[in-house]
Structure 1
Amino acid sequence: MNYFAYGVRGLLTVVFLVAVVGKVGRSGAFSGFVDSLRPLAAVPEPAVRAAALAVVAVEGAVCLALVWPYPPATRAGLLAATALLAVFAVVIARSVSRGTAVRCRCFGRSVEPLGRAHVVRNGLLATVAGAGAAAVATGPVGGPDLGAAAVAWCAGAVVGGLVTVAEDLVSLFRPAAPSLTE
């Protein structure tokens, strides 16, 4: 496995771990996630809760597959991440094109509605996950330099952490809305 694949594994492990914790890690988080799926109309109303459970389960399974040091599991995790992120991008793009205002529950709570930036983010992450899967499939089979692999994984994890707080970081640089008392 090459170092790019280790970096992708670190990135996606953090992204999906934060997503799972954000959706189930506090009281009412999962219900909020379920409620956010309804206006997207991606599945029939009776199946919304089951779809939400499936999303959280697949996100958790991706995390496990990416940390398990077994190349077939890694490849499966990266392929599952690619598919899940591509589905997210398509569903969000459809919602944005219809003008449906839905708060992003990707990583738990957010005040931002789903928008084009979410489509781009998920599309880029899907592309990176697919490239990671290709790197695992075609990469060298020999053992890596563990130090370099750890650095690559940690660098990816830092990027993954930045991805999960990107909305917050962007909001720091937006002009403040005028106060009603001014």
Structure 2
Amino acid sequence: MNYFAYGVRGLLTAVFLIAVAGKTGRAGAFSAFADSLRPLAVVPGPAVRAVALAAVAAEAAVCLALALPYTAATLAGLLAATVLLAVFAVVIARSVSTGTTVRCRCFGRSTAPLGRTHVVRNGLLACVAGIGAAVVAAGPDGGPDPGMAVVAWCAGAVAGGLVTVLEDLMSLFRPVDPSVTE
């Protein structure tokens, strides 16, 4: 596995681990996440909690697969991440195109509604996961310097952490409402 693959593993592990923690780490977080799926009208009402549970379980499984030191597990985790992120992007794009306003519960609490930024974020992450899967599938098994592999993984994890606060980072560059500064 090459350093790019280690970096992608770190990135996606951080993103999915923060997503799982945000949806399950405090009282009421999972219910808030499940409730945020209702307006999306992707599944019938009675199935919403089951779909929410399946999404969180799939995210946790991706984390586990990417953390294991086996090429087959890494490949499975990257492929699962690709599919999950692509599905998330499509569902959010559908929501945005129909004008449905839903709070982003991707990483737990957020006041921001789902929007184009979320579609682009998930689409880009799906592409990175897919490229990572292709690299792992095509590349030789083993051989990198362990220290550099750790550096690559950690760099990816830092990037993943930044991805999870993208909304906050983007808000730093938006114009300030004049009523806030008075």
2:87 equivalent to 1:87:
yes
What displacement does 1:25 show? 0.3
Q: C-alpha deviations, 1:57-102, integer Å up to 9, x for none?
A: 0000000000100000000000000000000000000000000000
Identical pairs, percent: 79
SS, match of residue 104 in structure 1: coil
Q: Give the C-alpha shift of residue 181 in structure 1.
A: 10
Matched residue type, 1:155: A
Cα distance between partner residues in 2 of 1:19 and 1:81: 13
2:177 and 2:34 mapped to 1: Cα distance? 30
Q: d(CA) in 1 for partners of 2:103 and 2:27?
A: 18
The runs of 5 or more residues in structure 2 that have no matched partner are none
Aligned to 1:30: 30
Divergent runs of 4+, >3 A: none
Gaps of 5+ in 1: none
Contact residue 15 and residue 164 of structure 2 kept, 8 A? yes
Matched, 1:59 2:59: yes
Distance 1:180 1:126, change over 3 A: closer
Q: Which residue identity is paired with 2:151?
A: V
Displacement of 1:180 in angstroms is: 8.0
User: Could you state the TM-score of these two structures normalised by the residue count of structure 1?
Assistant: 0.97
> Residue 53 of structure 1 aligns to which amino acid in structure 2?
L
- In the alignment, the residues of structure 2 paired with residue 141 and residue 24 of structure 1 have an alpha-carbon distance, to the nearest angstrom, of 35
Contact 2:8 2:129 (C-alpha < 8 Å) held by counterparts: yes
Distance (Å, rounded) in 1 between the aligned partners of 2:55 and 2:141: 32
Q: TM-score, normalised by structure 2?
A: 0.97
Show the counterpart of 1:135.
Answer: 135
Q: Relative to structure 2, which stretch is displaced further, 169-178 or 48-57?
A: 169-178
